[in-house]
Structure 1
Amino acid sequence: MTPRPRFVPHATPTGVAGADDLCLVVAGRKLLVGADGPFPYVRDLPTGTECVPLGTLDGHRVWAAALPSPDSGLGAWRSWRALAGELGEPLAALAGRALQVMTWRRSHRFCGACTAELGDVPGEHARRCPACDLYVPMQLSPAVLAAIRRPGAPGRVDELLLLRHAYGPTELWALVAGFVEAGESLEEAVHREVGEEVGLSVQGLSYFGSQPWAMSGPGVVLAGFTAVSSDDDAEPVVDGREVAEARWFPLDALPDELPPTYSISRWLIDEAVKNSR
């Protein structure tokens, strides 16, 4: 079996970008596909392109760069979702980091306090204002999602709560999810989101894992949980605005329209199925 590549993120530059270093190029919400692999090399880019350190892949330096718009002369451009589906981890995480870092840099050029142009902080994905000394780090936006199980009747398999959103990829059956509010713990956010989205309460909350998620914007990290419905007879109630539909599905009869295999949402669903056997 071929070992998976290992990506180690960091923001400390080690010299200048070399011609044979990988460089993930971002334009808007698209990434440039390499001619001889999933990502291009520095030598493939226009002369003078600014490269920002992302980390190392199997010990080799990896950089990111940004263009104002996709340049058809450089090659094909793909969405992160399309690339992540083909590449899997950890290359999906590397592409997501490039998209998040370069999107953050584009949207944080000027000081929010005095409007002066910000300068880079060496060794960090952060900026500082030369006029008022405001420090602007690349901040994380935590979000939670939960796989909620309902015990089945004697002799019957357990059920999993799945819902369809009224926006985004509306064809998918997904898990309850939402951003964490200020002053709120991850666990509190799960309880609040479950109540808001489907009108239920849960118990037995257990942390599952986390994943950076480039589709929802720069700095988003998803924290996944498992939980059990507090009431075996409770049915989900949706408002029709944010969530269009929610249902209990037997774990041996889940719908085909599930989240992609590279997502923590799918990992949670697959784990629930595995534990039900």
Structure 2
Amino acid sequence: MTPYCAFLGDDDFLCTNGIEQCLEFLERHPSYGAAHGKGLLFQTETGAAYGPIGMVRPYPQVVLNADSAAGRLRDVLTARVGGLLYSVHRTHTWRAMFAGIGRLSGTTNTNIFKDELIAVCLSAIRNTVQELDCLYLIRHTHEAIYKYPTIYDWVTDPMWFPSFQAFRDRLVTELMEQDRLHEPDAQAVFKDVFWSFLAHVLMNGWQRSRQPARVKPVSRLQVLAKRVPGLQRGWQKVLAIRQRWQDELSLPALLHPSSPYHDDFMPIYEAVTHAPADALVAVASERHLVSSKGALDAGAVLREPHG
């Protein structure tokens, strides 16, 4: 059995150099159960699979260093939950995260528990997770991306409570095993952590539903740039330079050869911005996407044991 695995969506990318750094880190640090590098989220200007990239921003991922399982569970439920599933995991942990989920009664995909929460929380309970200074994950967002229900629709679904019960029972059992807690103590930890999480997502969901769409303010210089020939191009260059210095994961910064992430980003940039035929050639020819040390197959990146 291969000792490492990683999840990859069919519209996302993992950088081979980042994968290899994660594998090396996990081999040198057996106390850690998972690792990842920096993540990005991008969208093309048209929202299609290929074309000019219009937006790039950081995709936060979870770092967990608490000594106790209860502490890591609390940390992951107060952070960005989805940022943990893309980490390189030890295979035995990954199997445990998803073991039996398909057979759980009362769980449905629309309840989020089965899709994400159970696996993420089990990973947090079992693992410390580190982030490395390398480009690792590049996610593609678009209109056809899978969307979870709103928080209101989630908690009012008729199957919410049976799903919650399965989720609670699984996590309580794990807390008892990992932190050597008696069941009443594990129940109390779960109640405290999940109550806080639920209050947070309910309030955030309610506030977001009432926020008007943000309209980006237009400066006087931008208005002037549109009116004066040649000034708009100069304005765009100024913005790109400023963004490059202020945000190391911005598109202008990543495109500049001085960026430490440039070499890993460019094969993916070329694959996305070229026509499909050109993109296939780019994917096949770049060492960052095809590695002799790893395999990219059906959403998983695996590495065989040494020796």
- TM-score between the two structures when normalised by the length of structure 2: 0.25
The structure that is strand-richer by fraction is 1
**Comparing both chains, which one has the higher relative contact order based on Cα–Cα distances under 8 Å and sequence gaps of 6 or more?**
2
The structure that is helix-richer by fraction is 2
- TM-score between the two structures when normalised by the length of structure 1: 0.26
